[in-house]
A and B are shown apart, each in its own frame.
Chain A
Amino acid sequence: MSTTDRADGTGLPDPGRTPPAPPPAVSAGPAAARPGAWGRRTARRAGPRRRPLWPEALALLLAAVFVFPVYWMFATSFKSNSQVLTRDPVLWFTPTFEHYATATGVELFWVYVRNSVTVTLGAVLLALLVALAASFALARLDFRGRRGMVLVVMAAQMAPWEILIIVMYLNARDLRMLNSLLTLTVVYFVMALPFTVWMLRGFIAAVPRELEESAMIDGCGRGGAFFRVIFPLLAPGLMATSLFGFIMAWNEYAMVLVLNKAPQAATLPLWLTRFQTNFGNDWGATMAASSMFTVPVLLVFLILQRRVTGGMAAGAVKG
């Protein structure tokens, strides 16, 4: 991941690779007998690299810990039913694809997929569009009520959506907007909006003003300057931000459960839970469904992550 993004044009320096800059005035503490961890590494750079092994070992151990539940989900999805629940876990097995057949064999499966994709993409794009405008104003323009708006955006992230389900339901019912993908899209869009504004504002703030101004001097209007200068630089930020909206909308369960009771308006999270019933839990199918449900998120993540974290950090540091 981030190791590879040095060459991707983000221009982020890799610690330990760039030559040291002239020391700024840092108040030094009492001289330590041994150089610290950060120092030791650079100190050795001149000679043959012989770093201590424990950080690498620790990192690999941590990687195993973090990946284990994910691995367990995938592994279980390939086990036969009698191997799923055993006193001692079955570690070696011949993979079976029957659970994937069960999971995708559910009637209306492709309708759920289509609905989930429609709602998720719709909500994310809408959120990006609306947030882009708002965050530009918040980051670049000074106007009365700006701080109030910042406060609103911050506070809106506290919205207790799980509790508001019944109210959202009442509103949708009274407006005759139940069982509608549009309703769901709008709700998810608003759920994602505060965080999206928050993030984008940081990204826009991180784009140097000089660039924009020189573009304006060169004859671009404000809009032109925005689209020719800021927008391209924002691409990583937009991607990073869209990921959060994507995960949120893709996963949402409680709202769709009561808002969309018609089978043809259901989404994948409802499908995910249907293998756990009062008549027994089909764990294999649940895990197969969960695995398939996770893959798109993982893919989106892997495609975007290089930009995600780099951009995200820049945004956050710039606050």
Chain B
Amino acid sequence: MTAQTGQRPSPASAPARERLRRGSSLPYLLIAPAVLALAAVLGYALVRNVAISFQEFGRRELISRTTRWAGPDNYLRVLEDQRFWSATARTFAFMAVNVVLIMVLGTLIGLLLGRVRKAVRLVLSLALVAAWAMPVVATVTVFRWLFDTQFGVANWAMRTVGLSGYDQHNWFGSGLSTLTVVTVLVVWASVPFVALNLYAALTTVGPEIYEAARVDGASAVRIFVSVVGPMMKPFFLITTFLEVIWVFKAFVQVYAMNGGGPNRESETLPVMAYIEGMGQNQYGTAAAISVLTLLILLVAMSFWFRLILRQEKEGQP
């Protein structure tokens, strides 16, 4: 990597993208494999998913390979279901809390990485990498277990510290408590991505800026807000975008932790769609939920799409 700063190319440098002579087929040839693969596998699946959302599709239809059209029934049923709306609200709250925690903690740890001596930085980085690399399947098992009512290390630690009420404290006793444990897991697993990348990104910016700001007498917070922040804007923009999507879609972490329970109080949209689909074999209803989820997500993310596309435009000569 020879590029070192996040500045836009100066007018003297070459244009960012080459305008080919009119009608050149090169770009289309280059993107064709990706477009075809996405269309054939993902696009076709999405189209068929939409088709199923307008069908009465249960295990009878699956096994006997029949089609029963149902019109908008599935959508009406889902939209009338109070559970869908509470799951939507829950999903957004869960997403917001997680993304904020991930970004804040990730940023702080990333900055911390830049401050500590080499050996300590190596230790912390390795720990972060280990957390990042641990497979979700294994992570959920261990967390479920660290927070076990009877044998959990969490309760043991609480007792050891001397807190009362943790003799057989049930961490999965309410939806909020369950989602809190899930949040700990998701944040734990996602912070390394942000922290390590932020640290690496900071090193590409170079220390001159800090020096300069320091000479001007700016405080650490001030330096971060007015110097590092703006410089890292593309980084934060994209990372937050990815985290929002990832947390919104988080399924295994929520479902494997407590199956959306107790009493369906930790049910997020992906979990609800899965329970309706794979659990209750109401594939039509599940498809409707997934289509609605996707629409909601698209609307919620349109802000980001605009921001990132605008950047796209700025990149043009």
Residues of A within 8 A of B (CB): 1-4, 10-18, 20-24, 26-32, 34-39, 41-43, 51, 55-56, 58-60, 62-67, 69-70, 72-73, 85-89, 130-131, 133-134, 136-143, 146-147, 149-152, 154-160, 162-168, 170-171, 186-187, 189-190, 193-194, 197, 205-210, 213, 233, 236, 247, 250-251, 253-254, 269, 272-273, 276, 283, 286-287, 290-291, 293-294, 297-298, 301-302, 305, 309-314, 316-319
Contact = CB atoms under 8 A, between A and B. Distances in A.
Contacts of B278: 165-166
Interface stretch (B91-99, B122-130, B173-181): B122-130
B283 to A, nearest CB: 5
Given A32-B222, A316-B197, A67 B121 contact: no
A316 B31 CA distance: 21
Given A20-B207, A130-B34, A43 B150 contact: no
Nearest to B44: A171
A165 B48 CA distance: 12
Nearest to A286: B141
B104 interface: no
Nearest to A139: B17
B66 to A, nearest CB: 13
Given A32-B222, A319-B237, A21 B211 contact: yes
Contacts of A58: 112
Contacts of B199: 2, 309, 313
A168 B52 CA distance: 12
B280 interface: no
Query: Interface residues of A: mostly helix, strand, loop or mixed?
Result: helix
Interface of B: 1-4, 6, 9, 13-20, 24, 26-28, 30-31, 33-35, 37-38, 41-42, 44-46, 48-49, 52, 62, 109, 112-118, 120-139, 141-143, 145-146, 150-151, 153, 156, 188, 191-192, 196-223, 226-227, 231-232, 234-235, 237-239, 241-242, 245, 248-249, 251-252, 270, 273-274, 277-278, 283, 286-287, 289-290, 293-294, 297-298, 301, 305, 308-309, 311-313, 315-316
Contacts of B245: 157-158
Contacts, number: 426
23 contacts: A2-B199, A12-B1, A16-B207, A21-B211, A26-B209, A26-B212, A32-B222, A39-B223, A42-B214, A66-B124, A73-B142, A89-B156, A130-B34, A134-B35, A138-B31, A139-B17, A163-B290, A166-B278, A251-B137, A253-B252, A313-B198, A314-B3, A318-B6
A23 B211 contact: yes
A290 B200 contact: no
